Amino acid sequence: MARKAIPEVERLKVWVRAGGRCELCGTYLLEGRLTYQDFTLGELAHIVGQEASVKSPRGMDPLPKDERDLADNLMLLCRGEHNEIDRKGSLDVMTVERLRRIKRDREEWIRRLTALRPEAGTVVIRLIGQVRGQEVELTKPTAADAVIRSEERFPEFPLSLHGDGFEVDLRRFLHEETAGPTYWEQCKQQIDRVLEHKLGEALREDSVHHVSVFAFARLPLLVYFGSRLDDTFTVSIYQRHRSTESWCWPDLGEALTRFVTEAPPTQHPDVRDGVLLLNISGSIQAAELPEQLAGLPRWTIRPQGITPSVDVIKSASTLDEFTSVLRQLLSELEASHKDMQRLHVLAAVPVSAAVTLGRVHDANVHPTLVIYDRTDNRYTTALEIS
Ligand SMILES: [Zn+2]
């Protein structure tokens, strides 16, 4: 029996919904890979087989016969993959449910992407490190997905040798768990290498207007990383949320948290050193301060009306709120404590707030930030930002 032809309008729908690419591997199917000639290389594959027969792959599904040649039951695939999913050995793996899910996810994604205007691009930068031996999943697709879902931008990974975009990988540096001066220095250099050379190059070519930052590393490095991000472009900062295990900012309906600053009870206008405690995800007590900091005037930023906890910064607007309180404090110090040389920072903060601290700091007008690291319940100096 000859195979029935699929209606033209259904064919057209599948090609458009798939964006002209294989829905399994993403290969562009309107151009040859060897000759770059115009070809129509894709094939339409039935999810539920065309015939209700065991000979038709996945054909025994209850889907009515008159719905089997519709776009909803068809996937655009490369020839090789079409062949493979229809082989007996694949049928248990490439089930109707799995194929439908892949098709739906891919088509939703393409529809979102093609709705975005060209200026909605964002350059994705990933800082991939460890925190006490732990790593998190932070691949290109994970970052891309968060960007598209959270702010209706499309991700760009330009200009790198492997098409990975701007990736600062700190995982090869040893002794992270006992992080000492060598570790901090190696990581700083690696951050500089990528940001100054690669990103600098892109900036000179004027190809960066908006940056999306994804970071996971020890806190002092997050602050340093933030401090190295240029002011000439807009930055969105992402973090992995513990409550959802996702990098997407939760929906904007999230309640806004505000922050308050506690200043020292008495004025110290001519002091050269001050302490800043950022008690956002936890509370650092005065008793935990290193001895040499105990007598210094101390400022504290904490959430208003709630106890510090890991999920305090759960919306982008709460992060904005934190940013403006921090900015406000630094400009007050600049105005009222002109002799202050160093601000010693001890922070219990989520990733996004740490990157923000580095970003808000302006080396030209603010005191040097001395960032402390907590290891074995003791705070020690990790690095300085000046
Ligand atoms: Zn393919």
Containing domain of residue 84, as a range? 8-114
pLDDT at 385: 94
Shared-domain flag, residues 37 and 78 = yes
Q: What are the tens digits of pLDDT across the range 111-143?
A: 877 877 777 888 889 999 999 889 988 988 899
Instruction: State the CATH number of the domain containing residue 337.
Output: 3.40.1360
pLDDT at 29: 94
Is residue 197 predicted with pLDDT exceeding 70? yes
Q: What are the tens digits of pLDDT across the range 312-356?
A: 998 888 999 999 999 999 999 999 999 999 999 999 999 999 999
C-alpha of residue 252 to centroid of ligand 1, in Å: 36
Shared-domain flag, residues 271 and 376 = yes
C-alpha of residue 145 to centroid of ligand 1, in Å: 21
Per the domain annotation, does 245 fall within a domain?
A: no
Per the domain annotation, does 302 fall within a domain?
A: yes
Strands (E), the chain: 43-46, 74-77, 121-128, 154-156, 166-169, 210-216, 234-238, 259-262, 273-279, 298-303, 342-348, 368-375, 378-385
pLDDT at 160: 44
C-alpha of residue 16 to centroid of ligand 1, in Å: 16
Is residue 1 predicted with pLDDT exceeding 60? no
Out of 114, 133, 158, a domain closes at 114
Shared-domain flag, residues 286 and 173 = no
Q: Please, which residues have CB less than 5 A from ligand 1, an ion? A: 22, 24-25, 27, 78, 81
C-alpha of residue 105 to centroid of ligand 1, in Å: 16
Distance CA 22, CA 255 (A): 41
Model pTM greater than 0.85? Answer: no
Instruction: State the CATH number of the domain containing residue 209.
Output: 3.40.50
Residue with token string 């000859």: 2
Q: What are the tens digits of pLDDT across the range 73-119?
A: 999 999 999 999 999 988 999 999 999 999 999 998 888 778 777 77
Is residue 386 predicted with pLDDT exceeding 70? yes
Per the domain annotation, does 222 fall within a domain?
A: yes
C-alpha of residue 84 to centroid of ligand 1, in Å: 10
Shared-domain flag, residues 140 and 94 = no
Q: What are the tens digits of pLDDT across the range 152-165?
A: 788 876 644 445 56
Shared-domain flag, residues 263 and 381 = yes
Per the domain annotation, does 254 fall within a domain?
A: no
N residues, the chain: 386
pLDDT at 161: 40
